[in-house]
Amino acid sequence: MNQDKSDTAICDLLDAELRGRIRGYLPRYPTSRAVVLPALHLVHERLGYVPPQAVVEIAELLELSPAQVQDTLSFYGFFKQDQPLGRYRVWVCRSMACAAREGEELLEYLCQKLDLQPGETTADGRVSLEFAECLGACDHAPAILVNDTLHKQMTKEKIDELLSSWE
């Protein structure tokens, strides 16, 4: 597995520790192709996104083609590739139950407050705003997800509280 070469290249995005963690998955999965998804999650968590260079490095590490890694990345809307995410990734549900309970108004409100469009990140790197499909909290609509925390029955007032609590 290209260990010597890939661990010593000067301009690598993936450091030795991250490469070691990705390699650690190999015995746990039936094929190196199956390691692509957990590897993407590790890199995304570390860098805040998975730029094209990281795709190349993951491919090299797993002895796959960059296209194979890119295919997996592109399949999921979760991974960012163009720029790092903000510290707070905000997903606003736009599916039916939330839309019927003013979820769209909340999204507009967030767009105005943050001066952002969905898919963008604030210039200070604090917040990324995204659409989400059903977050599985329809009984508590409208719902938003901030990083790993679900916020239920949201209102503009609750959004103000959230925003002011973030560093």
| Contact residues for ligand FES, defined by CB under 6 A | 93, 95-98, 134-138, 141, 143
DSSP 103-140: HHHHHHHHHHHHT--TT-B-TTS-EEEEEES--S-GGG
**Least spacing, CB of residue 152 vs ligand FES, in Å:** 9
Q: What backbone torsions phi and psi does residue 92 show, to the nearest 5 degrees?
A: -105, 120
Question: Which residue lies nearer to ligand FES by CB, 5 or 152?
Answer: 152
- Nearer Cβ to ligand FES (37/99): 99
Sheet bearing 127-132, strands edge to edge: 127-132, 88-93, 144-146, 149-151
48 versus 103: smaller Cβ distance to ligand FES: 103
Tell me whether residue 24 or residue 136 sits nearer to ligand FES (CB atom): 136
Q: What's the distance, CA 44 to chain centroid?
A: 6
Whole-number Å distance between alpha carbons of 113 and 105? 12
Least separation, in Å, of the C-beta of 88 and ligand FES?
19
Report the nearest approach of ligand FES to the CB of residue 105 (Å).
14
Residue closer to ligand FES by CB (options 35, 93) is 93
Q: What is the nearest approach in angstroms of ligand FES to the Cβ of residue 97? A: 4
C-alpha distance across the termini of the chain, in Å: 41
Shortest reach from residue 43's CB to ligand FES, in Å: 28
Question: Hey, how many other C-beta atoms are within 10 angstroms of the C-beta on 10?
Answer: 4
Q: Per the structure block, which two tokens stand in for 81?
A: 């590739």
DSSP for 61-85, written as a single string: HHT--HHHHHHHHHH-TT---SSPP
